[in-house]
Structure 1
Amino acid sequence: MSTPRFLHLPPGVTPGKIETARGTFAVLEALPATGVVERGPAILLPGVTGSKEDFIAVLQTLALSGRRVLAVDLRGQYETPGGDDPAAYTCAALGADIDALAQQAGDGEPVHLVGHSFGGLVAREAVIDGRTKFGSLTLLGSGPAGITGRRAEHARWLARTIPASGLRHVWHAGFEPDALAAEVPDDILAFLRERLLANAPTGLATMAAEVVSAPDRTDELRQIELPTLVLYGEHDDGWPAETQQEMAAALGAECVVVPGAAHSPAVEAPETTAAALVRFWNTAESHAL
């Protein structure tokens, strides 16, 4: 289990909330510790069981490139409120949330969008729906359709177990044993427990079902002609490497493999991941001039 470095926010990173027409979203906002914001903003979206804290290790480096960077809790995740309507947690509905967030945060300027795992499926919905003009799209450890393998089995377990037994059972039966086996430190274990139990149960169950059942929308995404980066760890156990490579080729996208990383490159190899993102964003902006 990967664990975010969340206990101490680096300089220039602060927690906050952003009000949009579709609700209030909890964020970690990163600004340059020195200098000014002179480049396009970015929004980072986490996976199903993650949160904005999964990006803490990259936020300062990304902001130092002269950007405002927002890591977001999706609707119903951790510190962003969510209700009991399953329709609010489909990829399409969450994509509409991100449209509203990008329009608010970008203030008319194209936003660079990064989606990790399930967040990538949400990000592509925001791009495909055409409501918002984005500066670029990065699919970070994400694939063309539903997730596969062991992670798919876990998602199916969440989708059926949460409605039947609740989040506390999910913690004690699944997450806590995995964390203890991985010898996660006590303070991080406490955070992981707090984060899981803070999720909207309907939201987490619905998103878990969505990450398995998502259709392949590569053809539709290719038609948008948006600068796109496919970025994943060499040991990713979510979508196979060949699947992500094939998606990148179909999209005409740049493909970067992060050495030594698995499914969460922003946690497992933050400097390499941040450097790849900054370079890609700078290139996308120079081509847009």
Structure 2
Amino acid sequence: MATATANGITIEYDVLGKADDPPMLLIMGLGAQLIDWPQEFCERLAGRGYRVIRFDNRDAGLSGGCDEAGVPDLAAVFGGDLRTVPYGLGDMVGDTIGLLDALGIESAHVVAASMGGMIAQQLTISHPRRVRSLCSIMSTTGDRTVGQPTPQAAMLLARPPATNRDEAISNALVGARLLSSPGFPVGDDELLRRATAKVDRAYRPAGTARQLAAVLAAPDRTEQLRKVAAPTAVIHGAEDPLIGVSGGRATADAIPKAELLVVPGMGHDLPRPVWPQFIDAIERVARRGEAR
């Protein structure tokens, strides 16, 4: 892995694939890290002929953050008082553009999950020439009437931070169980392995709160998405408890000619048995993007 300075933030990133293959940028979600894109998934994408770049967003993983800003008042932000929001999705778009610039990449295929999908949507709206194709996974438009979480999933976002490593791992395991795909169950041993790897690499609850504030403060992108020209695929789980499937449907409805893949039994994760469908959909729109 390596680091780059982007938009004034140190960004941790990783690259797989050949240097002369078309670049494909992967953007992860709320509190997630680049390791949440499974290594084998990235290797399979690279095997399709892409230079795959994954990175830690600001305030997550090993990238820089905004600790000096403290913890935002999320209840106030949800109610419309944005005074404690230290940055917005637009700033995270700036980080992404900065990383592309640092790597000498003029434009890339963009694949993004959850909050990453929100960043990618805004990136495509604000900088259309930098996006060859877009794949928005388990994300939504910013319209609060769609993509709503279940009460149980919403409680995860309001949970107080852990005070020690064991508690952090336990909380991560509980969250993974709740968000994982009911149609593609994963054993507790594997979920525990993933939770432990994430906590031991970086545990940054204040950073996650700042990211969540950026999501809550973001305006509805629906009307702007209607102008997106990049070939687009939208993938969503039919059983997603964190961002309901209506968020994915609304995204696909807004973006002209978007391909929608709703996966029965999928929750808010990247279930291994569905990887071939994901990768085929990503490659289809990427090929369309290369042909433009």
2 CA distance for matches of 1:50 and 1:88?
19
CA contact under 8 A between 1:266 and 1:274: conserved in structure 2?
no
User: In 2, are the aligned partners of 1:266 and 1:273 still within 8 Å (CA)?
Assistant: no
- Pair 1:148 & 2:131 matched: no
- SS where residue 29 of structure 1 aligns? strand
Equivalent in the alignment of 1:184? 189
Show the 5 A alignment for 1:66-215: 66-84=49-67, 85=69, 89-108=87-106, 110-130=107-127, 133-145=130-142, 148-150=148-150, 151-155=153-157, 157-158=158-159, 161-162=160-161, 171=168, 174-178=171-175, 183-185=188-190, 187-195=193-201, 197=203, 199=204, 201-215=205-219
Residue 20 of structure 2: SS of its match in structure 1? coil
Give, as a single letter, the amino acid of the residue that structure 2 aligns with 1:190: T
Q: State the secondary structure of the residue aligned to 1:62.
A: helix
Partner of 2:24: 42
Larger displacement relative to structure 2 (257-266 or 69-78): 257-266
Matched to 1:136, the amino acid is S
* Mean CA deviation greater in 236-245 or 91-100: 236-245
Partner of 2:260: 255
Q: CA 1:131–1:177 in structure 2 vs 1: closer, same or farther (change >3 Å)?
A: closer
Shift of the alpha carbon at 1:195? 4.0
2:233/2:281 contact within 8 Å kept? no
How far the C-alpha of 1:75 sits from its partner, in A, is 0.8
The 2-side partners of 1:129 and 1:142 are apart by 18
- Distance, in Å, in 2 between the alignment partners of 1:116 and 1:180 is 18
For 1:3, the equivalent position in structure 2 comes to: none
Structure 1 residue 281: deviation in Å?
0.4
TM-score with structure 2 setting the length = 0.77
Is residue 29 from structure 1 mapped to residue 36 from structure 2 by the alignment? no
Quick check: 1:49–1:196 contact (8 Å CA) kept in 2?
no
Distance in 1, Cα, partners of 2:290 & 2:243:
29
Shift of 1:73: 0.8
- Partner SS, residue 43 of structure 1: strand
The 1:226–1:126 alpha-carbon spacing in structure 2 relative to 1, beyond 3 Å, is same
Tell me: CA distance 1:192–1:130, structure 2 relative to 1, closer, same or farther (3 Å). Answer: closer
Correspondence for 1:8: none
TM-score relative to the length of structure 1:
0.77
Structure 2, unaligned stretches of length 5 or more? Answer: 71-84, 179-186
Q: Distance in 1 between matches of 2:15 and 2:207?
A: 24
Aligned Cα RMSD in Å? 2.9
SS in structure 2 of the partner of residue 28 of structure 1: strand
- Cα distance in structure 1, aligned partners of 2:9 and 2:238: 37
